[in-house]
Amino acid sequence: MSEKKRIQVDLSGRIALVTGAARGLGRCFALDLAAAGAKVACVDIKTDTLAEAIGAIRAAGGTAEPIACDVTNSTRVNEVVDEVVKLWGGLDILVNNAGITRDSLLMRMKDDQWDDVLNINLKGTFLFTRAASRPLCKSSYGRIINIASVSGLMGNPGQANYSASKAGVIGLTRTISRELASRSVTVNAVAPGFIATEMTAKLGEELLGKIKEEIPLKRLGLPQDVSDAVLFLASDAAEFITGQVLTVDGGLTV
């Protein structure tokens, strides 16, 4: 949760579900949605770090519940959505953030590296979108925000699996936006570029230096940069925006 608010959003009375909420970008989304007044179901398979995220939200005065879930388990995903609806009476905002990388050059990529990434990043997004679509359609305020990546737009060497999964998320976003528009549910994607997280820190200073030189704004993005985009798409101000991909990349894909 940022100390200095850069975007003012009132989500009082709204109910949100964030996958991959235990750390990184997902944790930031959950913190900021709660700070904006939403009740947040924080979903993750990592229950220990999820508990820390819940503690931070509650310490700041927000409302949140931890829910353990493997996003590739269809039965469990359906149960999670039902639990949230039963707990708070509905669902208004879904943020599909859960994702992993298993980088390798194509010729060396193993089947499980491909399957793991596609299952979590793409199938998980599909499963939660499908499960949440009914309560979101019943809401007068349906929002689906899928976390894609610039890798799904431009590709990235060593990330055939990740790029394919995120390109799939973008295609899914655009299709579902057309299917759910008649029910006043907006469906958009946010495509972050290189963001300063635990994942990018593993790249090392030398590589990160080269990456910064390729970014027109000459810096890595901050988690808050991406979270502000999510907050905007979750807000009243974005009610006429659907089927779009909002890149948050410092100009990398211009």
**What is the helix (H) or strand (E) element at residue 67, kind and residue range?**
strand 63-68
The catalytic position among 162, 173, 226, 250 is: 162
> Do 6 and 224 form a contact (C-beta atoms < 8 A)?
yes
> Do 97 and 145 form a contact (C-beta atoms < 8 A)?
no
Provide the 3-class DSSP secondary structure of residue 220.
Answer: coil
- Tell me whether residue 162 is one of the annotated catalytic residues: yes
Smallest CA-to-CA distance from 238 within 130, 145, 126, 135 is with 145
Smallest CA-to-CA distance from 67 within 26, 35, 113 is with 26
Residues 6+ positions from 142 with CB-CB distance below 8 Å: 92, 136, 180, 183, 184, 185, 186
At residue 12, what are phi and psi to the nearest 5 degrees?
-55, 130
> Do 157 and 105 form a contact (C-beta atoms < 8 A)?
yes
Smallest CA-to-CA distance from 160 within 218, 222, 225, 109 is with 109
Strand-pairing partners, residue 145, are 95, 188
What whole-number distance in Å separates Cα of residue 30 and Cα of residue 215? 27
Catalytic residue numbers, as ranges:
162
